[in-house]
Amino acid sequence: MVSWFRRCALALSLVLAACGDGVLIISFNSGVIVGAPQCSGAGGQFNLRDQGGLQVLVVITSSTHIVVSGGGAGSCNDLFAGDPVEVNGRDSGDHVVATTVTVR
């Protein structure tokens, strides 16, 4: 599923680049939160280590939807080191701006 989603995102970015409208790369990552998330106000950030060992910085904004285990709504303060999560968002250089973070 992850591989399929990444292929679709790559295809979409190639189509947009070919049309001259810009590039949009949507990212889907799953892994484990490394260290304590840094939360402030309605946002925050945390490091995510994927199954391959790669770490990526995930940025949480006021429009990020956080879903805690059990399906309820949460916030950055509900995320903890070691939590397995799935992150949907857009690549923004050296980090991912999360649209959805789901705790598994």
Establish if 3 belongs to a structural domain: no
Q: How many domains, in total, are found in the chain?
A: 1
Q: Return the closest-CA partner of residue 84 out of 31, 36, 46, 28.
A: 31
Domain membership of residue 20 (yes or no) is no
Token pair 């070691």 is found at: 82
pLDDT-derived band at 51 (thresholds 50, 70, 90) equals confident
Residue range of the domain that includes 44: 26-103
Residue 15 belongs to some domain of the structure: no
Q: Which of 46, 81, 80, 78 is CA-nearest to residue 60?
A: 46
Classified as helix, coil or strand, 66 is strand
With cut-offs at 50, 70 and 90, classify the pLDDT of residue 72.
Answer: very high
Reported confidence tier of residue 2, pLDDT bands at 50, 70, 90: very low
Q: In whole angstroms, what is the distance from residue 28 CA to residue 23 CA?
A: 16
Domain membership flag for residue 18: no
Cα distances from 4 to residues 1, 8, 34, in angstroms, run 5, 6, 26
**Strand 95-103, strand 55-67: pairing:** parallel
The whole-number pLDDT of residue 23 equals 47
We report the CATH number of the domain holding residue 36 as 2.40.50.140
Domain assignment present for 38: yes
